[in-house]
Structure 1
Amino acid sequence: VLFSKSSNFVENQSGPTHESMQAVFDLQPFRPVVNLSSPTIANLSFTLYAVLGVNEKAQILTTFLWLRLFWHNEFLVWDPDECDGVSRISLPVKELWTPDIIVYDVDDDVSQACPYVYVNHTGHIRWDRMLRLVSACNLEIFSFPFDVQNCTFTFGSYMHTSKESSLSICTKTFKLLENTSGEWELVDLTGESSILQFGIDEWDIITFWVVIRRSPVLYVVNLLIPSSFLMLIDILSFYLPPHSVDRASFKMTLILGYTVFLLIMNDLLPSTANGTPIIGIYFSVCLALMVISLLETVIITNVLHHSSMKYQEIPNWVRVVILKHIANLICYRWPEDVRPPEEAQEEKLESSNGTTGPWVIQPIRYVLDYLLFRIYLLLITCYAMVIITMWCIWISQS
């Protein structure tokens, strides 16, 4: 018995049988329309279940999707009243024609399609598919680890044009689940239908935009906080006595430790051909600042080393600029064991060859150390403000 609008089931048979639909199964290679000039309308429902992983180096996104396809088979229409009230059945998907919907930008597709489809008496068919997709995604890692990524999924027919198969989105049926486990958080999902023009043919396609946000806690705890601690220790090392040799060795130990930290951190940072993340620049500049700090210590140590040696008289304008104007500008307070230049001037002792004693070198070295320390603090403060501002601007625009 042909299973169609005008067909009836075998008498005393509760619902359709395999024999009653054999004629429909035989038409499986053909598009299920009576008039081949009419397109088969396929509707797509999209649910993003989870983000399984992101490979920044390979620019690959791994997701788990749940798709539902709806279409109409004009050969599978019956009257439930003539079939003991049976209005819905399930059939093997391999026995029926199915839309050849694929994802265009996929590197790997692990499909767990349901082997059966649900068919109601009007000929409408529903087919569920669960997909684990490894798809290409252009990742922007400049604001790593506070980055927000926008990846796309494009669905379309492999061989049927718009005249043969029309693809559209089910109204308000694409969504994302509230799944925030793992490193990535699902933020938003939007989609729209469009036409793909290729030569004289047109294909219906559906594009979904998936917005995901990285959870930065792991990177803040493992990268930013330890780096900030090392920079803080480097700043506090300026409070060591400038005449202490331990200050230089201490700073060199910090630089060595920071270098080891950078080597370990290199495995956590994403590496792509699109550019360098701002956090990588941040660590490089921090290392440069620590080197500048060591250079400042070398300069002060050099001045201290020669403080007991015989020097020619320091020009008066140098003493005035450093000991008076610069000292007042940076609000320098003289240590208890160092006399202010006005008092020391009264007790000035010059050797017979016209050299200057350590009373002049010592105040100058303290003022220079204080001045260079303030400049170093200013550089670090400006640098931190620039980094925080850039990150805030980038996050607000994402």
Structure 2
Amino acid sequence: MTTFSVSTLTAANGDFEVREQPIPETPADGMLVRVEYAGVCATDLHIALGHIPDYDYPSTLGHEVCGIVEEVGPEFGRDVRGVPLKAGDRVAVMPATPCGRCAPCKAGGRFPNCESWDVIGFSNPDERPAGGGWGQYVLCNSRARVFVSEAPAENVVLAEPAATPVEGLMRAGFRFGDSVLVQGTGTVGLLAIAAAALGGASTISAIGGPARRLEIARELGARTTVDIGTLRDPDERRNAVLAGSPNEKGYDLVVECAGVPSTVPEGFGYLARGGCFIELGHFSDVGTVEINPYQHILSRDARMVSSSGYTPDSFGRALGLVEKLGEKARHLITHRLPLERAHDAINALRPANRWQLDGVEVGKVVIDPWLET
């Protein structure tokens, strides 16, 4: 076998074409990974719709990558934790790595910043072969950060989406015993619930829907769930949400994972005095919100943090989280699709399609590039 199959997005609002590419040689300081699963997320939808300015098409998507090491160069060395790498190891691939040479990299700091990111899953196949998880192989170069795991692939593929809420909670200073409200019960919201539960939150509530996702939210640790589709009146919803908080006085942390503008001022209204609002959901520009600085922030002594990325530390912690989920991780994955159905995977995330695919409500969708149609 000298070629492999890859799904290629031809242009913004274009088609996904399954093409054959030569399997690249593994350099001495690189590693070739045989992809098992690659997740589908809202960022992929925004790329497909042309919402990312100056994005380079054609493109190989797939930045949530789990796979088996096919070949490792003698100079690649170990994973992030210092584990020696060998063929046959299952790894989670961290998709973005800094160059280490530019001014922001040399300056350091807690938040990841680089003028020349190396990214997997946002790659032009004409410039970077095997550059995304929506293909049968991913080629990792010397800058890649990978993590060996003995957990099932269904767990490991969730490490990347779990890293976002883990990083957000860490930036907010989440502590054992804090009360947490999560707005939105998509994959990131559900993993935020799991992270808060594993970290020892005293109370966890969730606003979201539909019913199946709320059931999983309770399974992962949410004591109170509020169905946004059923409780549409803002005042009634506020009363129901606050009723689940300690002494009905609000939450220490509110984690916004819905990506809907109206959730921001509403979320501030659920904070206890001195609480922190964590913004994770707005990865594209979907509009503005009106904030009353006194009512929403100052009168509550509120803080706000956000996270548009994560560090190797939070990624490693996220992997530990999804490893501990055990069988529960499989409940988050609703669809496993072949490369030929990449367009279906993207369309299922459109609100107009009511998050349905093959008559089933969409949870986490993953691409299995070896699955035959």
Q: Larger C-alpha radius of gyration, 1 or 2? A: 1
Same fold (TM over 0.5): no
User: TM-score w.r.t. structure 1 length?
Assistant: 0.19
Greater relative contact order, per chain length (Cα 8 Å cut-off, separation 6+): 2
User: TM-score w.r.t. structure 2 length?
Assistant: 0.20
